[in-house]
Every structure is written in C-alpha cells, then in structure tokens.
C-alpha cells in the first residue's frame, strides 16, 4: 500500500492512472466543462453559416445576419478565454498529478529493502522518479480533454452531416474504421518502441551519474576518454532506440495524413456527383465542406492523443513497476515498538546468503554466514574481526534488520527483531560505517542528521566528543561550511569523525562501528578512542575492526572467516590460544613502527 492507500497490484493500469484525478477533481471538472463548451462552439459555426446562406442573405435579413455574426464573434472570444483556462489550469492539474506520482514513487522507494538497491543502479532509479514521468503532465491534461472534445465534435458533426446528405456522410465516415484499425496496429509498435526509449534514457542517466560521481577517480587514472567512450556508446544506443520510435510514428502520421486528406477529395467528388444528380445544392456542399474541417480537427486531436498516450503510459508503466514492487523486509502485522532498550543481543543459529546478480543465472546464492550463534550482554563491547569478505559487515547489517536472516533468529532484549517495528529497532541503533555518506550541505546539517531536534549546543557537544570541533572552527564558515557532494571537500578522517558525531548526537543504546576508525591516522585514532569508551559506558557496542589495536579492551572478540566463527574470547584468551587471532595481531605488528607498538 502507498501513502495514498492505493494498492497498485490489485488494479489495472488505466484505473491506477485515473485514480490520480481524485485529488484534483475540481480542476478536472473545470477543464472538462470548458472543453465541452469549446466543442459546442465548434459545431455551431458551420450550422449558423448554412442558415445565413440559405435564409438571412437571400431574404435580405441583414440586421439578423449581422446580429448572428456578432454573436459568433462573442462566442469565439469566449472560446479563446476557455482555451486559456484549459491550457493554464489544465496543465497545472497535470503538473499536480505528476508531482503526486513523483512523491508516491519516492516515498515507496524509501520503504524498499536493501535487496532492491543491490539490484538497481542509482541512475536508473533517478530516471524512474524524473524523466519517466515527464510526459504524464501532457497525458493527464490533454488526454481526457482531447477525447471529450473529439468524441462530441465527431458525433455532433456526423448527426448534422446526415441531415445535410446522409449518403455523403456515410462515405466520409467509412474512413473512420480504417483510422481505428490503423491506429491499433501502429500503437502497439509505438508503445514497444517508447518503452525501449525510456529504458535507454535510464541507462544514459546511470552513465551520467556514474561518470560525475567517479570523476575524481577517472581523472586520477587518466580515464576521461574511456568515460566519454562509454557515454557516447550509450548515447548512440539511445539514438537507435529513438530511430525505431520515430519510424513507427512517421508511418502512423503519414498514414493518418493520407486518410484525413483523402476525405476532402471524397467530399468534393461525391458532392459534385450529387449536385449533378440534383440531390444536393452548392450551399449544402459548402456547409458539408465546413463540417469536414470541423470533423478533421478532432481527428487530428485523436492522432496527437495516441502519441501522448503512448509516451505517457510508457513512463507510467515504469512507474507502476516500482509501485508494484513490495519491500522484502516488512513489519509483522502485530509488530510492537521496541522501548526501554538495555541492549542485550542474542544471535541464534543464523545463516544468510546473498543473491547473485540476475545477469549471471548460472550461479545462485552466495553463502555468507552459516549457523552463527553469539550472545552479547547489555552494556558489553563485542568486536568482530577477520579477513575481508568473511561476513563481518553482513552480520552487522542483520542486527538492524537491513536484511532478514534465512535461518535462526536475532533478538534484542529477548524480542525477535522480526516482531518489532523496523523504525523503533533502528532508532535504538547507531551505526558508523566504513564509508560514511555525507549529504550535500553544511557540516551542521550532516551532524544534526543524527537528531533533527537537537540544539546547536548539542551538535557542538557531539562534535567535540568526536574530536572534530577544532577542525570545524578552522574552516571558513565553521559549522555552516559547505562540504560539497558526498563531502568531497572533507578528508576521509573528517568524514568519519562527522559520522561518529552523528552517533554521539543520536545517543542510542546499541552502537555498531563498521571499521569506523579505518580512515583515521594513529594520533587521531588515539584521541577519539577515549570518546568511544565514554560513549560505550552502559551501552552495547559491536565493533568491526581492521586495526586490532582498537579492540584489545573488548569484552569478547569473535574471529569470522569462511562464513563461520573460528574462535572467540577476550584479547588475552585469544593470544594465549595462539590461533588465527594471534596470527593476525602478529602480522599487523610486523608493519608497525616501534613508536606505534609503544602507543598500543
């Protein structure tokens, strides 16, 4: 279900589209009323012209003639005003609907699980939220309006034409089935081509996002030409997809223009024949010709509508693909709020595997953890070490339920985390990741992300405890200094300490440090170690450590390798056991200077 309580899985595409008019029904009805009046005015002019030529002018009713002409002028003035309303307020309604959909899809994406983001690239998601919905404005506005005006005008014109010369009307309207069949056949080709265009546009967005995000790496490796080559290749594929769409559209428009143009020829030919036979006069033929022009206008509107419908629905279908994607991690129906957390974590016989990329169907799941059991008492410091790829980070992602375990369970204070709300669980866990994400904005904004309701003094206090306050004050604008996209104006150590300050500000009962000090120099690391110790008092700390010197005082240390816990104990116990942990400690000591060893 979405924020608007629409279950897109249970309704058709068209119903899903039209349901978005509900919140803007006033503008929709105004648009339709104006369109209906415009259609009436368009039908009036040929009939009034026929009346003038048949009665008012031949009978010298000049005053009546000019009065009628004045009324027609007033009607067309009103028609112009109505078109202003249709164009301005109608487009605003379309923009509102587009914005509603964009808000819905963004809200829904925010609810999706880590698995979804593992499988979808950022650029493609950006395309779903932005460019895919661009044509929705035109379709939402012009679609119902064009259909209403065209339907009323065509039906009204047919009735009036039958009154003038029914045989000629039948000849003209015989072209309508040809138009319908031709439209149905070409619409399918254009729709398929339009979806392909959307997909290629998403690839372009992905390439651009990747190229701009990695520009520093590209320059560092002198790979600008390679990035340009990749973009040009994707751009060429987009051009090719557009060529297919425009080819189908050209056939469609060419065929429609032939059908529409041949109608005038049919009218003159058949009308001339009826005049020769004495069953029709010149006034009737002129009036009939005027109505043909009135008839052709809605036909052209229908042609434009088909194009708008194909482009708009192609984007809308991609919108629905996301909206019909369910979060893989959901709160249980009877999920409770996690409150008054002490921080006792129990990991019982947990196994977990990652799904491989869909592009490689030969391989299935990748087992990362197998039958892991741990007991982390409240307020204790628990460290996890081991080689890269051993499952350390995965284990820490399972605790806040970024992924669900395949087997076993994880409990916080005796409650299975699948039985509590995700929001309350994650509110009680603070995480500092190895790669700290910085939002484009100021230093203050990034620290305050830990608690949006915190005061300025709270933010400063958190920065001081993270040993970053002095460096912030040396910057040109202090806490209001802009840090650039992803924090590019900060060093790696500064970004991690800002991430640490966020956790200080959040002040959760459970802390997860995913190699949080890996980008810090030894001096800074030692400076903030006492801050970690202070923060850890009375809290549960789970630390993934690369530098083993940072976890010597941990209550328990687990070595994870090959999906399993190889050994576990305190630093002294593991050193005495002379196993894998002791080997890792000695290996790190080899690369240390004497001063670094003394600092330990």
Q: What is the pLDDT of residue 409?
A: 92
- DSSP label at 10? G
Per-residue pLDDT reduced to its tens digit, 284-293 = 777 677 667 6
Residue 132 pLDDT level (bands cut at 50, 70, 90): confident
Q: Is the dihedral of CA 480, 484, 485, 489 positive or negative?
A: negative
pLDDT at 4 over 70: no
**pLDDT for residue 9 is more than 90:** no
pLDDT over threshold 70, residue 356:
no
- The predicted pLDDT at position 345 comes to 92
Percent of all residues in the chain with a pLDDT value above 70, rounded to a whole number: 86
Highest mean pLDDT among 86-90, 166-170, 210-214: 86-90
pLDDT for 390: 77
pLDDT band at residue 419 using 50, 70 and 90 as cut-offs? very high
The span from the CA of 108 to the CA of 294, in Å, is 46
Do 543 and 383 meet the contact criterion of CB atoms below 8 Å apart? yes
Q: Are 447 and 463 in contact (CB under 8 A)?
A: yes
Q: In 279-412, where do the E strands start and end?
A: 345-355, 365-376, 381-385, 407-412
Residue 470's pLDDT is what? Answer: 87
DSSP 337-363: ---S----EEEEEEEEEEEPPTT-TT-
Pair 68, 52: CB distance under 8 Å: yes
**pLDDT class of 363 with cuts at 50, 70, 90:** low
Residue 58 has pLDDT above 60, yes or no: yes
Judge whether 17 and 316 are in contact, CB under 8 Å: yes
- Name the packing angle between helices 456-465 and 522-536 (round to 10°): 120
Q: How far apart are CA 113 and CA 403, in angstroms?
A: 7
436-507: CATH topology is: Rossmann fold (3.40.50)
* CATH no., domain 8-323: 1.20.1560.10
Checking if the pLDDT of 506 tops 80, the result is yes
| Structure confidence at residue 597 (pLDDT) | 40
pTM for this prediction: 0.72
Q: Do residues 490 and 438 make contact, with C-beta atoms less than 8 angstroms apart? A: yes
pLDDT of residue 524: 64
Please report the DSSP string for 559-576 in residue order. EEETTEEEEEE-HHHHHH
> Residue 593 has what pLDDT?
44
- 285: nearest Cα among 300, 266, 261: 266
**pLDDT tens digit string along 455-479?**
999 999 888 888 889 888 998 888 8
Tokens 């010197």 belong to 549
pLDDT at 273: 76
For residues 383 and 551, the answer to whether their CB atoms sit within 8 Å is yes
Statement: residue 382 has pLDDT above 50? yes
Mean pLDDT over 110-114 rounds to 83
Task: Assess whether pLDDT exceeds 90 at residue 306.
Answer: no
Terminal-residue alpha carbon distance, the chain: 54
Contacts 24+ apart (CB under 8 A), 476-483: 477/442, 478/443, 479/442, 479/443, 479/444, 479/447, 480/442, 480/443, 480/444, 481/442, 481/443, 482/441, 482/442, 483/438, 483/440, 483/441, 483/442, 483/443, 483/446
Q: What is the mean pLDDT of residues 586-596?
A: 60
Q: Would you place residue 358 in the very low, low, confident or very high pLDDT band (cuts 50, 70, 90)? A: very low
For the chain, the maximum distance between any two Cα atoms, rounded to a whole number of angstroms, is: 122
The yes-or-no verdict on residue 202 having pLDDT over 90 is: no
The pLDDT of residue 3 is 43
The two domains 8-323 and 436-507 share their CATH topology (first three levels equal) = no
State residue 520's pLDDT score: 61
Q: What is the pLDDT of residues 318-354, one digit of tens each?
A: 888 888 888 888 888 888 998 888 889 999 999 998 7
Mean pLDDT of all residues belonging to the chain:
80
Q: In terms of pLDDT, which residue wins out, 299 or 140?
A: 140
- Tell me: pLDDT of 362 over 50: no
Cα–Cα distance between 384 and 391 in angstroms, integer?
A: 10
pLDDT at 377: 92
Residue 339, both tokens: 């409150």
Q: Is the pLDDT of residue 508 over 60?
A: yes
Q: Where are the domains of the chain?
A: 8-323, 339-428+510-600, 436-507
Distance of CA 458 to the CA centre of its chain: 34
Q: Is the pLDDT of residue 592 over 70?
A: no
What would the CATH number be for the domain defined by 339-428+510-600?
3.40.50.300
Phi, psi of 429 (to 5 degrees): -125, 130
Q: Report pLDDT for 87.
A: 84
Question: What is the rounded CA–CA span in Å between residue 561 and residue 567?
Answer: 9
Residue 545 has phi, psi (to 5 degrees) of -120, 135
Q: What is the pLDDT of residue 346?
A: 93
Q: How far apart are CA 39 and CA 425, in angstroms?
A: 59
pLDDT digits over 427-464, tens only? 898 888 777 788 878 889 888 888 888 899 999 988 88
Name the band, by pLDDT with cuts 50, 70 and 90, for residue 420.
very high
Tokens 């104990």 locate to 569
**What is the per-residue pLDDT across 384-396, written as a single tens digit (0 to 9) for each?**
988 877 788 888 8
Phi-psi category of residue 487: left, alpha or beta, with phi > 0 → left and psi -120 to 50 → alpha: left
């Amino acid at each position: 279900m979405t924020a608007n309580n629409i279950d897109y899985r249970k309704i058709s595409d068209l119903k899903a589209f039209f349901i978005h008019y509900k919140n803007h029904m006033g503008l929709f009805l105004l648009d339709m009323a104006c369109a209906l009046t415009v259609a009436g005015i368009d039908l009036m002019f040929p009939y009034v012209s026929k009346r003038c030529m048949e009665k008012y002018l031949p009978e010298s009713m000049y005053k009546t003639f000019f009065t009628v002409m004045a009324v027609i002028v007033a009607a067309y003035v009103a028609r112009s005003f109505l078109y202003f309303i249709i164009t301005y307020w109608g487009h605003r309604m379309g923009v509102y609907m587009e914005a509603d959909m964009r808000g819905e899809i963004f809200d829904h994406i925010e609810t999706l699980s880590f698995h979804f983001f593992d499988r979808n690239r950022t650029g493609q998601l950006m395309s779903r939220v932005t460019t895919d919905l661009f044509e929705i404005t035109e379709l939402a506005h012009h679609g119902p309006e064009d259909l209403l005006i065209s339907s009323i005008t065509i039906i009204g014109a047919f009735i009036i034409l039958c009154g003038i010369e029914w045989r000629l009307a039948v000849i003209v309207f015989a072209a309508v089935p040809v138009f319908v069949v031709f439209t149905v056949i070409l619409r399918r080709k254009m729709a398929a081509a339009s979806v392909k265009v959307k997909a290629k546009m998403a690839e372009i967005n992905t390439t651009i996002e990747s190229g701009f995000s990695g520009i520093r790496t590209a320059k560092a490796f002198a790979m600008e030409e390679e990035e340009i080559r990749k973009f040009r290749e994707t751009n060429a594929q987009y051009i090719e997809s557009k060529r297919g769409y425009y080819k189908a559209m050209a056939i469609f428009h060419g065929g429609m223009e032939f059908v529409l143009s041949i109608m005038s020829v049919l009218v003159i030919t058949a009308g001339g024949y009826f005049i020769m036979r004495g069953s029709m006069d010149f006034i009737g033929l002129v009036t009939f010709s005027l109505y043909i022009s009135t008839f052709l206008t809605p036909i052209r509107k229908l042609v434009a509508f088909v194009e708008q419908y194909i482009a708009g629905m192609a984007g809308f279908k991609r919108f629905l693909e996301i909206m019909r994607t369910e979060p893989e991690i959901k709160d249980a129906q009877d999920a409770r709020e996690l409150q008054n957390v002490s921080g006792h974590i129990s990991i019982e016989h947990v196994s977990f595997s990652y799904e491989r990329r869909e592009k490689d169907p030969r391989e299935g799941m990748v087992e990362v953890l197998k039958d892991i059991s741990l007991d982390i008492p409240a307020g204790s410091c628990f460290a996890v070490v081991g080689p890269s790829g051993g499952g350390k980070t995965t284990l820490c992602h399972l605790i806040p339920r970024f992924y669900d375990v395949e087997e076993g369970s994880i409990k916080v204070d005796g409650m299975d985390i699948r039985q509590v709300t995700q929001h309350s669980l994650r509110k009680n866990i603070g995480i500092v990741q190895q790669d700290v994400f910085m939002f484009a904005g100021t230093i203050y904004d990034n620290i305050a992300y830990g608690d949006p309701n915190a005061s300025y003094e709270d933010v400063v206090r958190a920065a001081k405890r993270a040993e970053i306050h002095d460096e912030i004050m040396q910057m040109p604008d202090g806490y209001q200094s802009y840090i650039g996209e992803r924090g590019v104006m900060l060093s790696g150590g500064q970004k991690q300490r800002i991430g640490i300050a966020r956790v200080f500000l959040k002040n959760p009962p459970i802390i997860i440090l995913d190699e949080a000090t890996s980008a810090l120099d030894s001096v800074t690391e030692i400076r903030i170690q006492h801050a970690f110790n202070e923060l850890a008092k009375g809290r549960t700390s789970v630390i993934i450590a690369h530098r083993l010197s940072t976890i010597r005082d941990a209550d328990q240390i687990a070595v994870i390798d090959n999906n399993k816990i190889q050994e576990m104990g305190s630093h002294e116990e593991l050193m005495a056991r002379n196993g894998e942990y002791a080997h890792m400690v000695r290996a790190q000591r080899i690369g240390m200077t004497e001063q670094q060893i003394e600092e330990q």
